[in-house]
Amino acid sequence: MKRFLIAAVATAVSMTAFAQTNPPREPAPVDTISVTGSARVPTPPDHFSFNVSVQTISPTVEEAVNENNAKVAAVIAALKAAGAKSEEIQTSNFSVFPQQDYSQQQQGKLPRLIGYQVSNSITVKKREIASAGKLLQAAISAGVNQSSGLSFSAEDSFRTREVGLREAFEDARFKAMVLAQAAGRKVGPAMAITEGGASTPQPRPMMGRVMAAQVVSEVPVESGSEELTFTVSVVFAMR
């Protein structure tokens, strides 16, 4: 009887030791494939912006500033009369630079101060695309002598984002299927999804000086169409 109890205890101890030294194995990790999908959604622009400037040069800084102030005030009044609201008009830059004559510098003489140049820039942002040409015409007629940009952009609306993200995900799934088939595998469910966001093309600049004219016709403006680009990174399981 004692020999039987000793054998039973020894067997139990050995089984316990085996269980402690061999823990249950974790499930094997799932094979995955990571891809990035993208989609472009054509979207008509819904707002625009442009920048115009008034530059004046006078012998003294006081004269240059006063002359510039009067012309800029006329430009702002003309923009408002043409339909721009106060919150759509913003002063974007104001600068004063001395004008110097360097013609006698080679003779060892210092540059000679001949006047001052004052520049005041105005940025107009508005949603009514059709009013862009009319507002540009009003600004030029009122005294603007330099333009620095005209751009159109489209808002990332809920509907546009929904379409773009769905198409970007389908593009990612298609890429995963092609790669998985090349490896002799099949694509499983999505394990992780990361949105890359939306990007818009760079504004199309319009730069140059505007020559003074007695009569300025309305500037012809075509807004065209913008494309919003959406990207999605997806990790799929592979079977």
The pLDDT tens digits of the residues spanning 126-175 come to 998 889 999 999 999 999 998 878 888 877 678 888 999 999 999 999 99
Strand order across the beta sheet in which 146-153 lies? 89-101, 112-126, 47-58, 146-153, 208-209
User: What domains can you pick out in the chain, each with its CATH number?
Assistant: 27-45+155-239 (3.30.110.170), 47-153 (3.30.70.2970)
- Res 153: pLDDT: 82
- Res 230: pLDDT: 93
At 64, the pLDDT band (50, 70, 90 cuts) reads very high
Would the pLDDT of 201 be above 60?
no
Q: Is 36 left (phi over 0), alpha (psi -120 to 50) or beta?
A: beta
Would the pLDDT of 17 be above 90?
no
Would the pLDDT of 51 be above 90?
yes
Q: What is the pLDDT of residues 102-111, one digit of tens each?
A: 887 777 788 8
Query: What is Dmax (Cα atoms) for the chain?
Result: 126
